[in-house]
Amino acid sequence: MASAKYVFVTGGVTSSLGKGIISASLATLLQSRGFRVTIQKFDPYLNVDPGTLNPYEHGECFVTDDGAETDLDLGHYERFLNHPTSQANNVTTGRVYQSVIEKERRGDFLGKTVQVIPHITNEIKERMQILGNSGDYDVVITELGGTVGDIESLPYVESVRQLCWERPDDCAVVHLTLIPYLSAAGELKTKPTQHSVKSLQESGVFPDVLVCRTEYELTESIRRKLALFCNVQTDSVIQSIDAATIYDVPKLMKEEQLDKVVLKKLGLSHTGEADITNWEEFVYHLNNPKHTVDIALVGKYVELKDSYKSISESFIHASSFLRCKVILHWICSEKLDATSAIESLKNMDGVLVAPGFGPRGIEGKLYAVQYARENKIPFFGICLGMQASVIEYARNVLHYVSAHSTEMNPETSYPVIDIMKAQKKVINMGGTMRLGSCACELKKGSIAHAVYGVDKIDERHRHRYEFNNLYLNDFEKLGMKATGINPESGLVEIVEIPNHPWFVGVQFHPEYKSTVANPHPLFVSFVKAALKNKS
């Protein structure tokens, strides 16, 4: 069995340059050539995982099939490659140190003094090679979080140095950097990139490829200058000009021949051009819609749109599939009351109430649900959004005026949403929710059954509270139906209102499984309903 090849993607000059998108774009090109590719993210923060991080701190927490709470970049990896990731695809410094300390406590190091080198770096290298050693992949792309020069990133850079030294024929380093444009001088400046590469070289890592983020085209003279001062080949200076959407980047990287440069460095044979015809069709349909719809996304984290990254990307996938541009209106649930909800939602073709935790903004979500339900506007509730639809229905249709979730009001007289039995004794917050892929059986004749076209599905979860089955008969008698049930626990996964044009609440997170190649059917159906409502 041939050993896997490794590509390490580092970043310099500034954060948020798009290492994840470059990694995913390179992987897309290599995958289109027939290579088996995966991507992993190594994050330098001390949290064991992003599960307890506030969305304002780190954006969305993405969940994998095996229940790992991971960085949002793994969502990009899955959306681009149409291939699931796992716990092994995301590692943090916290997890690395936790593992090393546990080994030390067990006596695995035989009394040795435990140090960053070799113990921490050995742990990092071992984790960097887990997916490569599985035999499932030809190329493993590793994105290093943070920016070269950060103190917390040093152990990762050192680990890359050691791997490149140990396996010189199997490793390539791609360094993503910024070429700023100074308007006063009227020119692009290469000095920040030179300093960034110098810092990387001082750590013993020598980049093979420079990917240069820029607002303006790089001239041939700038490419030669960068190649000379940064010790790379001129054809290894890759321009990454600002794109209209992230989905334009694979085509731009193909034009710059990033895949060919990397394959040459890795010694992998290749002929012709990468075939991304299906991808280009996706982008064409996305950029040339035949219709538009206005959809409200109601949540409490709307100031930071990365908090709902998978949801917004799922709408993009549905937009391309239907040739219907979704214009998202980001509405803060904290600012909604009975009056402002009408004003904010009256021109919407559909309403989505987003996931979340805690009491902040919950009443605004209830007003949004009520407006969509009473005015027959297509409604989609996800996780807490589904729970909000249950609470609103209990209050205004069942007339359980004080109905609530015990998450928000532990003393409510009508706990229509209650903590799951398995969660009642949980003390630690991190990694203890109901996480990952779970089965759901669909009732025939429901919207969900028609949308999925099968009797049983698997979707990903991240929650502690659930529909309280003690009230299920009350709801079903007055028109809200449970149309999706977990076969093992009896947990209500989906609720619908049959006498509404399109009203669906799901306890799971369908947005985690939507990809470019396979837009999620619930999002496609919801956008269709919104378009029908508009017309």
Alpha-carbon distances of 199 from 12, 155, 233, rounded to whole Å: 9, 14, 19
Which backbone phi and psi does 497 adopt, to 5 degrees? Answer: -120, 105
The pLDDT, as a whole number, for residue 16 is: 82
The pLDDT, as a whole number, for residue 430 is: 58
The H or E element spanning position 173 is: strand 171-178
- 395 touches 363 (CB < 8 A): no
Cis ω on the peptide bond leading into residue 118 (within 30° of 0)? yes
Residue from 58, 449, 463, 509 carrying the catalytic annotation: 509
- 393 touches 480 (CB < 8 A): yes
Residue type, 105: R
Which backbone phi and psi does 264 adopt, to 5 degrees? Answer: -65, -45
Is residue 61 among the annotated active site residues? no
- Which parts of 297-430 fold into alpha helices (H)? 309-322, 338-345, 362-374, 384-396
- 23 touches 85 (CB < 8 A): no
- 85 touches 74 (CB < 8 A): yes
Alpha-carbon distances of 225 from 179, 216, 221, 228, 503, rounded to whole Å: 12, 16, 6, 5, 59
Residue type, 139: V
Nearest-Å Rg of the Cα atoms of the chain is: 25
What is the pTM for the complete model shown?
0.93
Residue type, 493: E
Is residue 303 among the annotated active site residues? no
Q: Quote the Cα angle for 231-233-239, to 5°.
A: 105
Instruction: Give CA–CA dist 388/363, Å, rounded.
Output: 9
Which backbone phi and psi does 529 adopt, to 5 degrees? Answer: -65, -40
- pLDDT by 10s per residue, the chain, length 535: 468 999 999 999 888 889 999 999 999 999 999 999 999 999 998 887 776 776 767 688 899 998 888 888 999 999 999 999 999 999 999 999 999 999 999 999 988 999 999 999 999 999 999 999 999 999 999 999 989 989 999 999 999 999 999 999 999 999 999 999 998 888 999 999 999 999 999 999 999 999 999 999 999 999 999 999 999 999 999 999 999 999 999 999 999 999 999 999 999 998 889 999 999 999 999 999 999 999 999 999 988 888 999 999 999 999 999 999 999 999 999 999 999 999 999 999 999 999 988 889 999 999 999 999 999 999 999 999 999 999 999 999 999 999 999 999 999 999 999 986 766 666 555 556 678 899 999 999 999 999 999 999 999 998 888 999 999 999 999 999 999 999 998 999 999 999 999 999 999 999 999 999 999 999 999 999 999 999 8
Task: Find residue 37's DSSP bridge partners.
Answer: 139
Is residue 217 among the annotated active site residues? no
Residue from 175, 404, 511, 520 carrying the catalytic annotation: 511
Residue from 383, 438, 440, 493 carrying the catalytic annotation: 383
Which backbone phi and psi does 526 adopt, to 5 degrees? Answer: -65, -45
Which backbone phi and psi does 36 adopt, to 5 degrees? Answer: -85, 115
The pLDDT, as a whole number, for residue 81 is: 96
Instruction: Give CA–CA dist 371/293, Å, rounded.
Output: 18
Instruction: Give CA–CA dist 526/315, Å, rounded.
Output: 10
Instruction: Give CA–CA dist 307/54, Å, rounded.
Output: 9
Instruction: Give CA–CA dist 126/139, Å, rounded.
Output: 16
